[in-house]
Chain A
Amino acid sequence: MSIKGKTAVVGIGETPTDRLGSKPGEPRKSTAEYLAWAARLAMEDAGLSKKDFEGQGLAAIYTTNHSQPFWPEEVAAILGITPGVSLAGGNGGASSVSLLGHAAAAISAGLCDLVLVIAAASPFGERGGHRGAHADTRDYEMPFGVMGPNCKISFVMSRYMHESGMTEDHFGKIAVTGRYHASLNPGAYLRKPITIDDYKKSRMISDPIRLFDCVMPANGGKAYIMTSAERAKSMRKPPVYLLGWGECNNASFGPRYRANPLITGITHAGKRAFEMSDVAHKDIRCLNLYDDYIPVVMVQIEDLGFCGRNDKTFFEKTDFTFKGDLPIQTSGGMINCGQPSTTGGMLHVIETVRQIRGECGERQVPNIKFGISTGVGAVNYGKNFGCTAAAILGSQS
């Protein structure tokens, strides 16, 4: 049994992102408030109400300050609903894309008819909560001063530059494209266009990672609603069908003890998604790729097979803007819209849905039928992402 075309996204909800609480005196909102807000927006978008979710599916994503074991139940309590199927997202930044498949499986198997997938975080609005580290990080990285993801992705980028010969101009082009799209997205946080020179002058954080390579933490909540393809036809907005999906966790390319960090599990997840969907690469008109860092976007373009490995010329020649050859990061990406912890990655699901619906205004990709969204999470010791997922969405089932 395949889940191809059996389900659709029929509602999306996204609160504004902000950094409230980052300065003294600024108001703060809690994760609970962002959850309630995002759920309301998604239900309004779908033309549904809280009552419709009784006995249905709820998928809550664990987040930085809320990783306690009963988090999905706590989210149900916050939202005041009584799910009949409880799913959880434990794949960090990949969770939103992973849960597209998990929710589709639950719906296709008849366990439920609706799934609300939701996440929120308020890193500037609240402190405390559970902040456990992966044992490898605690024992073999932190004692050596490995400064979190900035440092870990710097390892990957350092090797990527060494092997591919790519320079700051290549990375800068991707950063400039993302910011250009953000300038056309009223929901983005950083909207002032930048040049490659601005990128090169941005502060060095952890060589070769610069400030403009990095995602920005923010507060916010996001949600989407899925239902069966059949029920989707009678909903308020045009359905956006899940046509292909794949997930891959704990991947290693080469020996586990000395893996190639320039190939990620997106290679496997993307291949599965393409095979399931029967959609050709040339028909994908929008790539919304998980972007905690600029080089991560580029490695995924290679992983998904849109170009060869270390293909400098491809990155030089391709127009990645919304009107161009291969539109990427059409929302501006998390780098410009902000990353509310594990909620951030849902931006890429929501943006693909918006593009396929034709709701993107000034940044609308013309004639788009199919798009791809990816998520990645956790940076494993000595390699790259622990969790990866890819999904192909489309306007026809």
Chain B
Amino acid sequence: MAEEKVSKKPLPEITPVNQPFWDGAKAGKLMMQKCASCSTWVFPPRPVCGDCASEKLEWVPVSHKGKIFCFTIIREVVGTALRGFGPDIPYVTAWVDLDDGPRLCSNVIGCPIDQVKIDMPVEVVFEDSGDGITLPKFKPAA
């Protein structure tokens, strides 16, 4: 087996179900599933709609803007799987409610941590992990 590239931060596993999300991020677009039968948003990606069980899920672009529903400031590494985040501490993880879209868990970057507030408007910024994956993160809205 080829020597694995060392990436200390865990990356998502790309599956047939979630691939359009990650392809979209790489292309600078936030893509999510919408149920063609009942119109609800479905996220994280699923093979069937969680509400009506329809398999007719469509990938559509979603707003790049939203607001912070809640957040935390990570101050300690717990366990071994995430020790790659050690140098980033303290950092902010948040639930962002997209305008006309679902809730997404991500990081808030580009501002001092003590300025992050619930209900703060934010917008997507795409960050290349350097490992072939682009992560959608958020910064204060312009």
Contacts and interface: CB of A to CB of B under 8 A. Distances in A.
A283 interface: no
Contacts of B9: 143, 145
A159 B75 contact: no
Interface stretch (A103-111, A147-155, A359-367): A147-155
Given A139-B18, A145-B107, A207-B75, A256 B93 contact: no
Interface majority SS on A: helix, strand, loop or mixed? helix
A140 B12 contact: yes
A257 B41 contact: yes
Interface in A167-201: none
A136 interface: yes
A154 B72 contact: yes
A216 interface: no
Contacts of B73: 204, 206-207
Contacts of A255: 40-41
A78 interface: no
A159 B93 contact: no
Contact of A258 (B10, B72, B103): B103
B75 A382 contact: no
Contacts of A258: 41, 97, 102-103
A259 B102 CA distance: 10
B69 A144 contact: no
B72 A136 contact: no
Nearest to B133: A143
Nearest to B136: A144
Contact of A207 (B10, B72, B79): B72
Contacts of A381: 44, 105
Interface string B37-56: 00011111000001100000
Contacts of A256: 40, 42, 50-51
Interface in A236-258: 252, 255-258
B42 A257 contact: yes
Contact of B103 (A142, A143, A147, A382): A382
A147 B11 contact: no
Nearest to B81: A142
Interface string A123-164: 000000000000110111111111110110011101100100
Nearest to B101: A257
Interface of B: 9-13, 15, 18, 40-44, 50-51, 69-79, 81-82, 85, 88, 91, 93-95, 97, 101-107, 118, 129, 133, 135, 137
A-B pairs with the 3 shortest C-beta distances?
A154-B72, A257-B102, A139-B12
Interface of A: 135-136, 138-148, 150-151, 154-156, 158-159, 162, 204-209, 252, 255-259, 261, 381-382
